[in-house]
Amino acid sequence: MTARAFAAVDLGATSGRVMIERLADGRVDLELVRRFPNGPVERSDGLHWHFDALFENIVAGLADAVRREPAIESIGIDSWAVDYGLLHGGALLAEPFHYRDERTAPGVEQVHGIVPFAELYRRNGLQFLPFNTLYQYRVDPRLVDADAALLIPDLIAYLLTGRQVAERTNASTTGLLDVHTSEWDTELVERLSIPASVLPELVDPGTVIGTLRPELAARIGADLPVIAVGSHDTASAVVATPLTSANSAYISCGTWGLVGLELADPVVTDAARQANFTNELGVDGRIRFLHNVAGLWLLSETVRAWEAEDGTVIDLPRLLSDAAETGAEVPLFDANDPTLSAPGDMPARIAALLGDRAPTGRPAFTRSIVESIAAAFADAVQAASALSQRDIDSIHLVGGGSLNSLLCQATADRSGLPVLAGPVEATALGNVLVQARARGAAPATLEELRRLISRTHEPVSYRPR
Ligand code: LFR
């Protein structure tokens, strides 16, 4: 059988990738074409994303992909959520802000002053995160000059095709989507004095957004359609998480660990609000009932600080194996402590939380981080189970974290549940499966798509000890 090929643009908070994925004989295989660094850049007015560089890398990566695989049929784009670019007359008004920028505090106060959080939660179903788009909009002085506000994947799709849309899974992270109807909550938008005219038409994953603008088609070397996928990276990751039953929880672990369940209906109870669980929209109208836990961010920022101190690159596998030797009896800290959110000296901030319990050597300090993340994962799985009244019998851990065996084992040990790790590239796989399905090259239901993933990517199993 000839393979059907698709291109995935998958942007994470620390790196972006362009990948080719091929479907043939009931398998889906990946080829990495280009990986490029990403991260916060400090400007005079705060933390931003280096958007021009990202876009250039995407276009160059797509051109490479088409050179390697002329049979590519379409392009899908996913990224982290909540951040956006403002457009006026089709031009970007400013470089998009990074969600870790700390300018949003007054926005939170203003929004909650107008719509108390309990009401907000009943309307949008979102956990409180200080960077949710609606808080960012409130403090963005340029919003009044804009004629469109596009989340990052939608912004890229617009620059590629010329069409402005809001893909629904990611739109659900703005806080402005009605959790019950999945439409813009126009009354909420009005109460918050956000100009409704900046909110584009909503589209579902699988919709053809448009075809490449002629000048980009010429650079990339093909006249390809851009198809909306689960453009929120976590939505794409959940598509390709090989959940086998309603009793499986998932952890999509990269910079963040997104811990939760896939549900048919939102849970917006007082208890869910108090536990800070979110009801983000998944592909095919499923609900991603989950909680954000600080994931590998804590480790990568720590390693970054140590590397700056040493002036050399740290061998991470070596550090983790040394950490494995130290034993699990290390002090724990709250991985979700708000003081750990911004970039900066992570070891010092963690040490401040641990006080005189802080381990002195780097391996034990690393172990403390890994065990604290795992403990937060286990707590979130338990909370998801209690809040949704569902028994959980296994955890699927996907994304970059699935390669960290110390973290996978610690999560199994602390939750008392088997952890099934992988695929590491769940997000890119989910991105492509939705494109392939839209083009008739993959089966119709999420369950069938997940069976395709389990056939191709056998998970690594960690039993609780
Ligand atoms: C993961 C993620 C989370 C979102 C956070 C910020 O990459 O998309 O789901 O809460 O980034 O956008």
- pLDDT 10s digits, 75-130: 999 999 999 999 999 999 999 999 999 999 999 999 999 999 999 999 999 999 99
Tell me how far the alpha carbon of residue 12 lies from the centroid of ligand 1, in angstroms: 9
* CB neighbourhood size of 100 (10 A): 19
CATH code assigned at 363? 3.30.420.40
Q: What is the mean pLDDT of residues 32-37?
A: 98
Residue 137 lies in a domain: yes
Atom of ligand 1 at shortest distance to CA of 232? 8
Q: State phi, psi for 48 to the nearest 5 degrees.
A: -130, 175
Candidate from 229, 292, 293, 425 with most ligand 1 atoms within 8 A of CB, to mutate: 292
Residue 378 lies in a domain: yes
ipTM summary value: 0.99
Residue 248 and residue 221 in one domain: no
Residue 178 and residue 314 in one domain: no
Token match 């970059």: residue? 400
Tell me how far the alpha carbon of residue 80 lies from the centroid of ligand 1, in angstroms: 5
Residue 257 and residue 138 in one domain: no
Q: Of these residues, 185, 233, 284, 379, which one is catalytic?
A: 233
Residue 59 lies in a domain: yes
Residue 222 and residue 266 in one domain: no
Q: Give, using CA atoms, the residue closest to atom 11 of ligand 1.
A: 80
Q: Rounded to an integer, what distance in angstroms lies between the CA atom of residue 274 and that of residue 68?
A: 50
What is the separation of C-alpha 336 from the centre of its chain, rounded to a whole number of angstroms?
Answer: 17
pLDDT (tens digit, 9 = 90+) per residue, 262-290?
999 999 999 999 999 999 999 999 999 99
Contacts of 310 (CB under 8 A, 6+ apart): none
Residue 366 has pLDDT above 90, yes or no: yes
Q: What is the mean pLDDT of residues 181-204?
A: 98
Residue 178 and residue 204 in one domain: yes
Residue 40 and residue 178 in one domain: yes
Residue 144 and residue 199 in one domain: yes
Q: What is the mean pLDDT of residues 304-320?
A: 97
Residue 220 and residue 332 in one domain: no
Atom of ligand 1 at shortest distance to CA of 82? 12
Tell me how far the alpha carbon of residue 295 lies from the centroid of ligand 1, in angstroms: 11
Q: Rounded to an integer, what distance in angstroms lies between the CA atom of residue 60 and that of residue 58?
A: 6
SS (H, E, C) 160-201: HHCCCEEEHHHHCCCCCECCCCCCECHHHHHHCCCCHHHCCE
- By percentage, how much of the chain surpasses pLDDT 70? 100
What is the separation of C-alpha 154 from the centre of its chain, rounded to a whole number of angstroms?
Answer: 15
What is each CA distance from 43 to 151, 222, 256, 408, in whole angstroms?
Answer: 20, 36, 24, 37
Q: Any catalytic annotation for residue 391?
A: no
Q: What is the predicted pLDDT for the residue at 221?
A: 98
Tell me how far the alpha carbon of residue 63 lies from the centroid of ligand 1, in angstroms: 27
pLDDT (tens digit, 9 = 90+) per residue, 223-239?
999 999 999 999 999 99
Residue 156 lies in a domain: yes
Residue 375 lies in a domain: yes
Residues with CB under 6 A from ligand 1: 13, 80-82, 99, 232-234, 254-256, 258, 292
What's the domain range around 316?
243-422
The residue among 195, 227, 259 that closes a domain is: 227
Q: Give, using CA atoms, the residue closest to atom 4 of ligand 1.
A: 81
What are 446's two structure tokens? 């999420």
Candidate from 152, 256, 288 with most ligand 1 atoms within 8 A of CB, to mutate: 256
What are 413's two structure tokens? 């040990």
Q: Give, using CA atoms, the residue closest to atom 2 of ligand 1.
A: 80
Mean per-residue pLDDT over the chain, rounded: 97
Tell me how far the alpha carbon of residue 256 lies from the centroid of ligand 1, in angstroms: 7
Residue 465 lies in a domain: no
Residue 386 and residue 341 in one domain: yes
Candidate from 17, 82, 289, 341 with most ligand 1 atoms within 8 A of CB, to mutate: 82
Q: What is the predicted pLDDT for the residue at 159?
A: 98
Residue 462 lies in a domain: no
Q: Rounded to an integer, what distance in angstroms lies between the CA atom of residue 396 and that of residue 401?
A: 11
- CA dihedral of 348, 351, 353, 357, whole degrees rounded to 10: -170
Residue 2 has pLDDT above 90, yes or no: no
Q: Pairing mode, if any, of strands 225-227 and 208-211? A: antiparallel
Q: How confident is the model at residue 134 (pLDDT cuts 50, 70, 90)?
A: very high
The residue among 227, 261, 276 that closes a domain is: 227
Q: What is the predicted pLDDT for the residue at 328?
A: 87
Nearest C-alpha neighbor of 216 from the set 37, 410, 61? 61
CA 378, 256, 228, 82 torsion-angle sign: positive
Tell me how far the alpha carbon of residue 97 lies from the centroid of ligand 1, in angstroms: 14
Tell me how far the alpha carbon of residue 58 lies from the centroid of ligand 1, in angstroms: 20
Q: How confident is the model at residue 385 (pLDDT cuts 50, 70, 90)?
A: very high
Give the total number of structural domains in the chain: 2
Q: Give, using CA atoms, the residue closest to atom 8 of ligand 1.
A: 80
Candidate from 151, 170, 234 with most ligand 1 atoms within 8 A of CB, to mutate: 234
Q: What does the buried/exposed string (b/e) look like for 112-138 if buried means 16 or more CB atoms within 10 Å of the residue's CB? A: eeebeeeebbbbbbbbbbbbbbbbbbb
Residue 183 and residue 282 in one domain: no
Q: Rounded to an integer, what distance in angstroms lies between the CA atom of residue 106 and that of residue 5?
A: 47
Q: What is the predicted pLDDT for the residue at 1?
A: 64
Residue 222 and residue 251 in one domain: no
The residue among 171, 198, 227 that closes a domain is: 227
